[in-house]
Amino acid sequence: MLTPQLSELITALQALTPMPDDDTLNDLPVEDNPMDTLDNILIALKQETRETYPLEIIPPLLEVFGTGTGNGVFWGILHLVEAYPDKQELYPLIQRATRSTNPGTREWCCLLLGRRRNLADEPFLVERLQDPVAVVRQYALKGIIMLSQCYSMTHLLPLIEPLLHDEDKEVRHTATNALEALRRSPDEE
């Protein structure tokens, strides 16, 4: 159960959900830019979760992400999510969130899964290779690159090769990097 303070912060966070992409944020007049509000909410959430960190906070944190970095503020969300103490409870929520309707959530969850470097996350990353949003495909590739640092991923080469012809230049570039990384991934034992 959430404390009244946490409930208030989550309500404020949900009012900002989802955050706009970086280009939209940069075009907003200073007085309409929600980044200061989001940053203040994150600071307060960090304080409120020092002793008790309820799992109910994670889904709203995952849904607030926009595409891009939020001028760097989204990294604070990522770190707050990763600070959740029970990884067995946390990562199924992140895996499910890779299917969110919010492309920012899908993008950042691919990054969270990649940073964990756990083979159980492979199917969720592979599924996002077909995402309709280019930045999500790019971050699914980045997540797979991170997995390839610990596991043989050569079986994914045929799934990544078509992305060399993706309509998005960044996806094509990341696919090239992914193919190189997968060819260098550790051998299967």
| CA neighbor of 174 nearest in space, from 126, 130, 138 | 138
Residue type, 52: T
**Rounded Cα distance, 170 and 119, in Å:** 25
100-189: CATH topology: Leucine-rich Repeat Variant (1.25.10)
Give per-residue pLDDT as tens, 95-149: 999 999 999 999 999 999 999 999 999 999 999 999 999 999 999 999 999 999 9
**Rounded Cα distance, 70 and 75, in Å:** 8
The secondary structure element, H or E, covering residue 181 is helix 169-184
Give per-residue pLDDT as tens, 12-68: 999 999 999 999 999 999 888 899 999 999 999 999 999 999 999 999 999 999 999
Give the ranges where 57-167 is alpha helix by DSSP (H).
Answer: 58-64, 73-82, 87-97, 103-116, 122-128, 134-147, 157-160
| CA neighbor of 17 nearest in space, from 86, 103, 113, 99 | 103
Which residues in the chain are classed under CATH 1.25.10.10? 100-189
